[in-house]
Chain A
Amino acid sequence: MQSSLLNFYTRYILNRPIIVIIVLLGVFAYLGFNAKHFRIDASADSLILENDKDYKYYRKISKTYGSHSYMFITYKPKGDIFSPETLSKLGSLRDELKKIKRVSTVLTILDVPLLRNPPVPIKELIPNIKNLEHPDVDIHLARTEIESSPIYQELLVSADMKMTALMVHFTEDAEYERVVSRRGDLRQKLSVNTITPAERTELAQLKSAYRECKIRMDKERHSDIAAVRTIMDGYRQDAELFLGGISMITDDLITFVKKDLKVFGIGIVIFLIVALGFIFRKIRWVVLPVLCCTLSVLSMIGILGIFGWEVTVISSNFISLQLIITMALTIHLIVRYRELEVENPEWSQMELVKETVFSKFVPCLYTTLTTVAGFGSLLICDILPVINFGLMMSVGLVVSLIVTFFLFPAILCLLPKNKTGEERQFCSGFTRILANITQNYAKTVFIVTGLLIVMIGVGVSRLTVENSFIDYFRKSTEIYQGLKVIDQNLGGTTPLDIILSFDEKKDVLLSNQDTEVIVQDTVSTTPLDVIVDAQKIEDVPLSNKETIAESDADFDDEFSEFDEFEEEDNSDKYWFTADKMAKIMKVHDYLDSLPEIGKVLSLGTMLKIAEQFTEGKPLDDFQLALLYTQLPDNFKDMALSPYISIPDNQARLTVRIKDSLKGLKRDDLLKQIIFDMGDKLDLQENQYHLAGMMVLYNNMLQSLFSSQILTIGFVVLALMIMFTVLFRSIKIALIAILPNVISAIAVLGVMGLAGLPLDFITITIAAISIGIAVDDTIHYIHRFKEEYEVDQNYINAMHRCHGSIGNAMYYTSLTIIAGFSILVLSYFIPTILFGLLTSLAMFIALITALTLLPRLIIVFKPFGK
């Protein structure tokens, strides 16, 4: 089987290099053409679980209450925010922003209703509400009101009143809403197997419609944000302005990812050229690997374009990864070729190429397969972008293997043999030192390994999972500064919704502290100051001498006469009962008390404002109903619609989490809120629901974390099986797996020790490390087996391996480490961490493969005594 494959390879690839090159050029041209369909997606929903029930709930909530499509512009003028000049500038900034096509509203301090200007009873206020642009407005009163307003504070003005914010709302995309809603319905049908063939076709069409929508919306959002920034630039001489909000974050993420893909793609190629030139000092050993690397990446981009796989924040480093892995493959081929050239100077070029390819194909195939197994672990989780990343890299590796084993020999066959057979081994002293350490310091090797394992254990135990968008950016970037300003002064960043449901059965036994507002005889004491002594009231007899208990028949008759109450029962105004308001207020105050939470907005905010009219006393049911009937519809839309849904009998509290808070643990925070809802606020499980981006991101992260931990075992097992098949020995497989596991887990240990949390991007590093690090082991053991057969001496075989394959491993590792280190120049922190940690994994993998691995081989003698 193997020999017939080799014959086929010799006949059709090595003997027909020009045809191979032409065919490959055709394939590259086709794939290169399709590369134009390649797309980056960093939108919020690219980072959430496809089948997450919380996502479905979030969609439902967004539909009921409206979505979060808005941005903030912070405006810190040089002077007072209430000065006429500032207010005039703010007005013109607002008006300019409003002219942007998809901007629906711009809310500023100029537009919000002033309810205490001057303070009057509600009834007189409603027909005569002023705002800051009203000619009769009292600026002093306005400042006082806005400064102490439960709604405007930390939303439109900072606590120190030195900064104001503009909320820029965007119109909802009707087509997108339609597609997502219909897709959700059909997916639901698909999951319960009630989908018709026609609907199945429709679902497939919706998939492409969704993609088109997303592409269009990404472009639109990008141009809108650019327009907003251009307008902002016109005001920078008067004030310090920053832009913030989830839609801006995702757009900037795309920009950063795109920039990094381009800059570091090119940067790594340049680095490869320099490194290969430095190591091999031959043009052919620079041009060939660079060709293989770039054409592999080009092919992969084309394949991504054809299949519509989108690069997300998670897979943003795939170009760097593929370039480096391809280069590692080519370096192994080059080193082998040069060895053979030195050992067999009489061989023809064809013989050299043939032997190079034949001797390296099996280990390279296995290194590729084991790396695929590493990335394959990502397929187990149910997060589409992670699955895509796993698939993307797996396909990418196969593409690299094919390109390298077709293009490299085809071109090399056409090149003449080197004139000088002898070539300098670059820096082979390093591998010699490691060989000597392995031979002479066995105990040290094991002790250091032991210490490393202890350190890893400590580090892993300290690992946390956290995703903070603000930490994605360097402190010097504008986006970081803007996010921080908004986060710290204007109520936080990541939105979280708490939905309170009021129509569950048998939930009434609330704690005694609720009683005051629950059965409030429909009243608080407002506006009366004096209450008649309760006992005196009790003592007054029913003077009309009516009997309290009448016969049932009489009552039933009476009920039929008073059916007017049955008819009107569902009227919206009677929805506002004191117990509901008390629950909302209690949850509102609880959320407000959490230091991790910034701005809390709910019906509670509105109630607090209303209490300004009742001397701080809570409104009773009657006053609430009365207030509801008196409120104009536009006020209801603004103050009530986002926070209550009467048909659903529920209320919504929206908060923003302070992302920049030191030591913020999002998962713990969510768990604490859920615990306290029951423990402190006496709510039953079915009475509240957490929703919003915060929950969705957290679900994804937790899912990613747990699936990663679970699949690491699977990967190790898969590698064990592959090692056993490759080396036909369980003993060797066990020896081989240890250094790999150490190097991969070491990355997690270092992260734990350094206090770096696992996030969307760094969480994939363990899988990547295992995939890349395993290559060194395979190459080394494969070679060791050959070298051992020469004289059956483990020490000698070890020295020969270090002097040959050890150098190849050293070059590849060094190049990979240096290549990934370039990523530290990025402005995108995950890219920097990715670069550093992958380099670290490679370094540990190299050292363990050249010390621990040979030492274990020498100790356990798996190839015979």
Chain B
Amino acid sequence: MKMISCFLLFFLFLSSVVAADVETEAEKILKSSVDKVFTVMLDKEMTLDQKKIKVIEITDTVFGYPLMAKLSIGKKHWSEFNTEQRAEFTKLFTDAFRRFYVDKLDLFSNEEVVFKPATVVKGKKVQIPTMLLSNGKKYSILYKMSNGKTGWRIYDITIEGVSLIHTYRSQYNHILASGKVEDLLVKMREMKEEKEGNKEL
């Protein structure tokens, strides 16, 4: 019995060390990105458009778009995509996500972000809970990162329990459940063109 308790304690100790170690690297990357974004957003010299381009440059280093794109489709449908379609989808997804992110940027500017201790999931993944403080209200934001070939990258953000990848996935799955891959790509292309068209107007 004692042996078992010791083993358990050792395991817990060991895992916390690992967690602390991993947390340092992943959290460092995330914190660094968040700080950079905040700095840009608080820069009074830049126009909003300039800020957004800058923010995208920063966030591109921390978002794992190809993985996010793939996860937003899911295993079931991803196999229906050929190589070209995967490439195009990833590009369109990246474009859409960037747009989503910068559109939401105002929500996060001029606020305070409190980082909480990260937890490791299955070794290669880490979840970093944060709290966004805004006008006395607290909003929970969970960053999910994974350690791939290019290092630690965000693959999902969960805000108040709602996962961004899930919201994409339910939408794409609905389209793919009733149509073909090409239909989805057509819609995404049209959407992109429309957005660009709107901007020109």
Q: Which residues of A are interface residues toward B (Cβ below 8 A)?
A: 123-124, 502-509, 512, 515-516, 518-523, 525-528, 530-538, 540-550, 555-556, 558-559, 561-562, 565-566, 568-569, 571, 573-575, 577-580, 621-622, 625-626, 629-630
Contact = CB atoms under 8 A, between A and B. Distances in A.
Interface in B80-101: 83, 86-87, 90-91, 94-100
Contacts of B67: 558
Contacts of B53: 532, 536-537, 540
Contacts of A562: 71, 146, 155
When A and B form their complex, which 10 residue pairs have the shortest distance between CB atoms, in order from nearest? A508-B179, A521-B96, A574-B170, A532-B52, A519-B187, A534-B196, A621-B167, A559-B75, A625-B162, A507-B178
21 contacts: A504-B178, A505-B178, A509-B179, A516-B191, A521-B100, A523-B103, A526-B103, A528-B104, A532-B99, A533-B199, A534-B199, A540-B60, A543-B57, A548-B90, A573-B161, A574-B166, A574-B169, A577-B167, A621-B170, A622-B164, A626-B159
Contact of B100 (A505, A515, A523, A626): A523
Interface of B: 48-49, 52-53, 56-57, 60-61, 64-67, 70-71, 74-75, 78, 83, 86-87, 90-91, 94-100, 102-107, 122, 124-125, 137, 146, 148, 150, 153, 155, 159-171, 173-175, 177-180, 183-184, 187-188, 190-192, 194-196, 198-199
A516 B188 CA distance: 9
Contacts of B125: 561
Given A546-B66, A577-B170, A555 B78 contact: yes
A629 B161 CA distance: 8
Given A546-B65, A559-B78, A565 B71 contact: yes
Contacts of A506: 178-179
A580 B106 contact: no
B191 A555 contact: no
Task: Determine which residue in A503, A509, A568, A574 has the highest number of CB atoms from chain B within 10 A of its CB, and name it.
Answer: A574
Q: Is the interface of B mostly helix, strand, loop or mixed?
A: helix
A534 B107 contact: no
Contact of B124 (A503, A520, A546, A561): A561
Contacts of B103: 523, 525-526, 528, 531
Contacts of B162: 573, 622, 625-626, 629
B179 A540 contact: no
B43 to A, nearest CB: 16
Name the residue among A516, A533, A565 with the largest chain B CB count within 10 angstroms.
Answer: A565
A522 B196 contact: no
Contact of B74 (A526, A566, A580, A625): A566
B74 A548 contact: no
A526 B166 CA distance: 20
Given A538-B95, A574-B170, A626-B160, A550 B187 contact: no
Contact of B183 (A502, A508, A531): A508
A531 B194 CA distance: 13
Given A532-B52, A546-B65, A548-B90, A521 B60 contact: no
A580 B174 contact: yes
B192 A561 contact: no
A622 B106 contact: no
A146 to B, nearest CB: 28
A534 B99 contact: yes
A625 B171 CA distance: 12
Contact of A522 (B83, B168, B192, B199): B168
Contact of B166 (A533, A555, A569): A569
B49 A571 contact: no
Contacts of B124: 561
Nearest to B90: A548
Contact of A548 (B86, B105, B168): B86
A519 to B, nearest CB: 4
A340 B102 CA distance: 107
A522 B178 contact: no
The CB with the most chain A CB atoms within 10 A, among B103, B168, B179, is that of B103
Nearest to A533: B199
A522 B70 contact: no
Contacts of A516: 191, 194
Given A537-B98, A571-B166, A521 B191 contact: yes
A523 B183 contact: no
Contacts of A523: 99-100, 103-104
Contacts of B192: 534
A256 to B, nearest CB: 50
Nearest to B58: A543
B175 A536 contact: no
A573 to B, nearest CB: 6
Given A508-B175, A518-B187, A525-B103, A544 B165 contact: no
A544 B122 CA distance: 24
Most interface-central of A522, A549, A569 (chain B CB within 10 A): A522
Most A C-beta atoms less than 10 A away, residue of B98, B162, B180, B198: B162
A528 B54 CA distance: 17
A502 B170 CA distance: 12
B122 A555 contact: no
A141 to B, nearest CB: 22
A202 to B, nearest CB: 40
A367 B155 CA distance: 87
A548 B91 contact: yes
A512 B148 CA distance: 38
A745 to B, nearest CB: 51
B72 to A, nearest CB: 9
Nearest to B144: A564
Most chain A beta-carbon neighbours within 10 Å: one of B87, B153, B194: B194
Contacts of B153: 544
Given A519-B175, A559-B75, A574-B166, A544 B61 contact: yes
Nearest to A574: B170
A547 B95 contact: no
B103 to A, nearest CB: 4
A522 B68 CA distance: 14
A192 to B, nearest CB: 30
B100 A531 contact: no
A629 B160 contact: yes
A508 B86 CA distance: 20
Contacts of A507: 178-179
B68 to A, nearest CB: 10
Contacts of A545: 150
A558 B104 CA distance: 28
Given A518-B175, A528-B102, A561-B122, 6 more contacts: A532-B53, A543-B57, A544-B150, A546-B64, A548-B66, A569-B169
A521 B94 CA distance: 10
